[in-house]
A and B are shown apart, each in its own frame.
Chain A
Amino acid sequence: MSIRLLKHAFIENYAEPCWFNTPSTLKDTYDVVIIGAGGHGLACAHYLAQDHGITNVAVLDASYLGGGNTGRNTTIIRSNYLTPEGVRFYDASIQLFKDLSSDLETNIFYSERGHYTLAHSSATLRTARWRAEVNKHLGIKSEVVGTDEISRGCPELQIDCGGSHAIEGALFHAPGAVARHDAVAWGYAKSASARGIEIHQHTPVIGLEKDSEGVSAVITSKGTIKTRNVLSAVAGHTPTVTGMLNIKSPIEIFPLQACVTEPIKPWLDTIIVSGSLHLYISQSSRGELVMGATLDPMELHSRRSTLGFVTSLCDQILDLFPFLSGVKINRQWGGMADMTPDFAPIMGTSPVKGFYIDAGWGTWGFKATPISGKTMASTIANGVNDPLIRSFNLSRFGDFDLVGEKGAAAVGH
């Protein structure tokens, strides 16, 4: 333990500035109430203040800040999607991410690594080609590469993949990056807080009220708040919150698990994804290998972890990197992924006036944190959907106007 840390334990008035405020009581009324103090909710709070001058805002969380899917993902940032709507949206997010450390005056450890989506069959290679062409058309750096180039980018990778499903090529996406997820949430919290926005942790929402003019109140464990604007940014709890206003959605909650190994010497400086083997792997700045897999196969409202997940993931990882067989798994955890039928998010206005939804982030939400915050802030400030998120509205399901992003999911689901 550092002397500095030890010293603080004995100082009554802790000298370090707080990252964000923690007011003890709620006000009777706010201009905007954001449910969910994860990356998305806090980013929205930040942009409401920075872009629109709206600071009479409360961000509520049932638990602690950034403790949901914000702190449970594998932090991969990319924009190599399949639909033009998706590519434009995620590219705008990458542009915000690049300047985020200086904008928030918080080091988010943004690290551009390059991102390989491996193809083990000609069918996967065909989708890779399709994605590369859509990406290039929209000015995004993506290309299909052969096994020689993959070996140059990641010499440790076993191209024959244990013999049964050899790698045939890959979609290479140079802007692929990783960042420190907690720093993103804390950075947005710090910035929003500095502008006067209140963050209330351990304040679960137990009800929502509406009247003839739309949403009217948020009932919390610490009292009722009158407000005309509510944003739900609660990922795996979305159906519960929208259910408070009888709003139906196609969101289904599935468990998504991930794990990290013990820290080892840096050797993997890129991000490797295999849809066919259901895995993604990168190395964190601390040396841990951060690894994830596909969703668990059934709906579940729980963050439990399973041994089956680790054993099947490691089995696949060893096909790609046999030399990792002696490396130990250090930690594993689970999150509740809010899946949509078309693998695109549900964003913007809802059937209840003043009630906005930022959900359906399934397994792809972290990379969208800045842009979802910015577009939801503009949607709330103006009362109409931001042009960038128009095709992500909840109404698309009733209209059979889906976005069709499934082919660009990191792994097959």
Chain B
Amino acid sequence: MNYFDFPVIGRRSIDEFTIGDDTIPEPSVLGNVQSTGNWVFDRESTPRKTTEYWFHSSSQLWFIVERNTETDEIFSAETLNG
């Protein structure tokens, strides 16, 4: 099982989290329907290092987690909003 030391809540199994999407910033201008659709749906799902939103339901805290999507190695975790 994969464990990691999280801020505030300490050492936790990753099974305790609901894993959200990549932290893709919203573009300042969405433009037409096509480009809005592409922003909403398109993903870059290749083996890579990425940052994701993770939700820990028992503490109701959101984290930003940096992870390798090929090895599942976690590099860092910060609470959302510091």
Contact = CB atoms under 8 A, between A and B. Distances in A.
Interface of A: 239-240, 243, 248-253, 297-302, 304, 307-308, 341, 397-400
B19 interface: yes
Task: Give chain B's interface residue range (CB within 8 Å of chain A).
Answer: 20 to 34
Contacts of A341: 41
B42 A308 contact: no
Contacts of A252: 43, 45
Nearest to A401: B37
A398 B41 CA distance: 8
Given A308-B1, A398-B33, A250 B41 contact: yes
Contact of A299 (B34, B40, B69): B69
A251 B71 CA distance: 19
Interface of B is mostly: mixed
Interface string B44-66: 11110000100000000000000
A398 B45 contact: no
Given A300-B72, A301-B45, A301-B47, 20 more contacts: A239-B46, A243-B44, A248-B38, A250-B43, A252-B43, A252-B45, A253-B45, A298-B14, A299-B45, A299-B69, A300-B69, A301-B46, A301-B69, A302-B71, A304-B72, A341-B41, A397-B37, A397-B41, A398-B33, A398-B35
B41 to A, nearest CB: 4
Nearest to A297: B19
A307 B2 CA distance: 11
Contacts of B69: 253, 299-301
A301 B71 CA distance: 8
Nearest to B38: A398
Nearest to B18: A297
Contacts of B15: 308
A297 B43 CA distance: 17
A332 to B, nearest CB: 16
B21 to A, nearest CB: 9
Contacts of A250: 41-43
